[in-house]
Amino acid sequence: MDFRDFDRLNRRDIIRGTAMLGAGAAFLQPLPLFAQAGSLADIRKAAAAGKEASIKRIRDWVALPSIAAEDRNMPEGAAYFAELAKDAGFTHVEVVPTDGHPGVFATLDVGAPRTLGLYLMYDVKQYDPAEWSSPPLEGKMVERKNLGMTMVGRGSANHKGPEGTFLAAMHAIRAAGRKLPVNLVLICEGEEEIGSPHFRQLVTKPHILAALQKCDGVFMPTAMQDMEGGATIELGAKGIIELELVASGEKWGRGPKKDVHSSLKAMLDSPAWRLVQALQTLVTPDGNTPAIDGWFENVRKLSDREKAMIRDAIKHTNEAQMKDDLGVTRWIDDLSLEDAMVRLMQEPTVNIEGLVAGYTGPGGKTILPGRAVAKLDLRLVPNQTRAEATQKLRAHLDKRGFNDVEVNISGGYDPTETDENSALIRAEVATYKKLGVRPNLSVRLAGSWPGGTFTQPPVSVPVGRFGLSTGGNAHAPDEYYLIDSTNPKVAGLVDSTMGYVEFLYTLAAIK
């Protein structure tokens, strides 16, 4: 999934564009009071008793990194998660091959009237141990100021911690001698971190598609709380295309096919400058607006309702703190915060992730590179599609004579949208309110995850992300997930486990 999330605090609000719902004192009760009494007290007792087993389950999972970008431990990761699913009580579990890395499909039919889909991922981002304060696969417990005891490890927040917490909820329900209030259909992929290139292939296998089409919605367990205790409910996410543009002397027919001495630039063309010239055509001169032919033809502008959500969010935002967190002094085009937030939610983007050509080590090396590569991500908004955007990018380059510049797509998917009146979203809102958590309604995630595969035909069901607790540094060193909270507004592991339990029962009962 490509959430690309910032560290924490207001940076999360930037990406999600949150708007506050019912920000009254009723949503400020301490989280440890959740379900200590009442109809779910027996499940809470089981969750508390299983806490150490839950911690071990997450830590052991963190210890096995499945990294799609490095083709590392992918069969092992799928097999490992299949065992986790069986252990949690799924009665049908299978590892499903694709043309890429395998997925895991599982079902649990308890004879309930409602069926909930569950999207998980077993892959994680790459890491450099030298950048971490503790070994990235150790799952070390580290105290974090104003938050509590956290587990530090690659994948702890994104997303093995929240996913393991949902599995803990299943264990607790069974340990309490109960059965689930809804049927479950689970799909787990191993390629989210590289743009889910084979996910649609996985979802549309006939038996998997048939099971997903019976679902009232699909959700992804995620640590959604901010430091003030509120939890975000996203009504969508931007789509994404990840790709490389490659200029080379070999393809171009000009310039060297390999690196040569830089003195020869006086008589040879440069593939590196060729790539720079191609890149300059993709955006306006300031780099801020896509200039690909036809790029905005199908872009849907924000509705008045969506703009109202953003205006509500601004009322609760510390702009100075937000800028400080990001290390910036002004917004794009010197816009106001409100206008910048509207732009964040509404505009597609063309972003350079990295540029590589020739020598990049210490000192200089006088060469003329024979090959240059730019890594790009293109964020898409409703009603753009990956297929449309890919075709327009290729046509744009060809029209300007850059037929030789390769466009190598590595992954991506369409934008996601879910109706706020769907049973799934109403159940999320109701659960947060029941637990004393302020729900923050967001227009969409400015990052991306492949929820559009579910919302579009042939599946066509609502999607969302849901969960308590918090974590941070996803995709970065010292990634962490909260285990024992010292912040009365933010859930630790047991309370977060009970949050999933409450959600399942709320969805089962909602009209």
Q: Which CATH number fits the domain that encloses residue 98?
A: 3.40.630.10
Strands 18-20, 439-442: pairing kind: antiparallel
- pLDDT attached to residue 309: 87
User: Do 357 and 478 reside in the same domain of the chain?
Assistant: no
Same domain, 176 and 30: yes
Mark whether 116 and 261 lie in a shared domain: no
User: Residue 33 pLDDT > 60, yes or no?
Assistant: no
Q: Is 474 found in the same domain as 371?
A: no
Look up residue 54 and give its DSSP letter. H
User: Are 65 and 207 in the same domain?
Assistant: yes
Residue 104 · residue 172 · CB < 8 Å? no
Task: Identify whether 336 is part of a domain.
Answer: no
Q: Is the pLDDT of residue 15 over 50?
A: no
| DSSP line for 93-126 | EEEE--SSS-EEEEEE----S-EEEEEEE-----
Residues 50, 141 within the same domain:
yes
- Do 368 and 446 share a domain, yes or no? no
Q: What is the DSSP letter of 299?
A: P
Average pLDDT over residues 253-272: 97
Domain presence at residue 320: no
Mean pLDDT on 92-100: 97
| Across 179-189, average pLDDT | 97
Structure tokens, 344: 């964040």
- Residue 323 included in any domain: no
The pLDDT of residue 36: 52
**Residue 186 class from Cβ within 10 Å (0-12 exposed, 13-18 middle, 19+ buried)?**
buried
Q: Report d(CA 274, CA 430) in Å as an integer.
A: 55
3-state DSSP call for residue 238? coil
Strand order across the beta sheet in which 231-234 lies: 18-20, 439-442, 231-234
pLDDT (tens digit per residue) in 334-369:
999 999 999 999 999 999 999 999 999 999 999 999
In three-state form (DSSP H/G/I as H, E/B as E, the rest C), the secondary structure along 168-234 is HHHHHHHHCCCCCCCEEEEEEECCHHHCCCCHHHHHCCHHHHHHHCCCCCEEEECCCECCCCCEEEE
Cβ contact 231:435 at 8 Å = no
- pLDDT of residue 100 exceeding 50: yes
Please give the residue range of the domain that contains residue 459.
Answer: 9-237+420-509
pLDDT digits (tens, 9 = 90+) for 417-473: 999 999 999 999 999 999 999 898 889 988 888 999 999 999 999 999 999 999 999
Q: How many CA atoms lie within 13 A of 167 on its CB side?
A: 27
> Bigger pLDDT: 314 or 220?
220
Query: Residue 20: what pLDDT?
Result: 38
One-letter identity of residue 105: F
Same domain, 45 and 176: yes
Comparing 21-35, 139-153, 247-261, 310-324, the range with the smallest average pLDDT is: 21-35
pLDDT the model gives residue 311? 86
User: Does residue 313 fall inside a structural domain?
Assistant: no
Two tokens, residue 158: 């994104």
Relative orientation angle of helices 493-509 and 41-49, to the nearest 10 degrees: 150
Sole residue written with tokens 């799928």? 78
Residue 373 lies in a domain: yes
- In the structure, what pLDDT confidence band is assigned to residue 232 with cuts at 50, 70 and 90? confident
The CATH code of the domain that includes 256 is: 3.30.70.360
Residue 24 pLDDT greater than 90, yes or no: no
Give the separation between CA 136 and CA 203, rounded to whole angstroms: 31
Residues 21 and 43 in one domain: yes
For the entire predicted model, the pTM comes to: 0.86
pLDDT of the residue at 324: 87
Confidence class for position 156, pLDDT limits 50, 70, 90 = very high
- How much is the pLDDT for 438? 87
Given a cut of 60, is residue 170 above it in pLDDT?
yes
Q: Which amino acid is at 32?
A: P
pLDDT at residue 22 tops 70 = no
- Residue at a domain's end among 380, 398, 413: 413
Average pLDDT over residues 35-54: 88
Q: Which of the listed residues 413, 431, 449 is the one where a domain comes to its end? A: 413
pLDDT at 12: 40
> Does any domain span residue 38?
yes
CA dist., res. 490 & res. 1, Å (int): 24
- Assigned token pair, 310: 């953003």
Token reading at 342: 């509207």
- Looking at the fold, whether 197 and 279 belong to one and the same domain comes out as no
Give the count of alpha carbons within 13 A of 93, CB side only: 15
Examine the domain organization and report whether 468 and 399 are in the same domain. no
| Per-residue pLDDT, 38 | 66
Establish if 89 belongs to a structural domain.
yes
Would you state the structure tokens that stand for residue 22, as one six-digit string? 């019912």
- For strand 463-466 and strand 218-221, is the pairing parallel, antiparallel, or unpaired? parallel
The number of domains in the chain is 2
Asked if residue 18 belongs to a domain, the reply is yes
Helix H or strand E segment including 493: helix 493-509
379 and 366 inside one domain: yes
pLDDT on residue 89: 97
Question: 3-state class of 372 per DSSP?
Answer: strand
What mean pLDDT comes out for the span 380-391? 96
Q: Which of 390, 413, 436 is the last residue of a domain?
A: 413
- How much of the chain exceeds pLDDT 70, in percent? 93
Q: Taking 60 as the threshold, does the pLDDT of residue 390 lie above it?
A: yes
In this predicted structure, what is the pLDDT of residue 229? 85
Task: State the pLDDT at residue 123.
Answer: 97
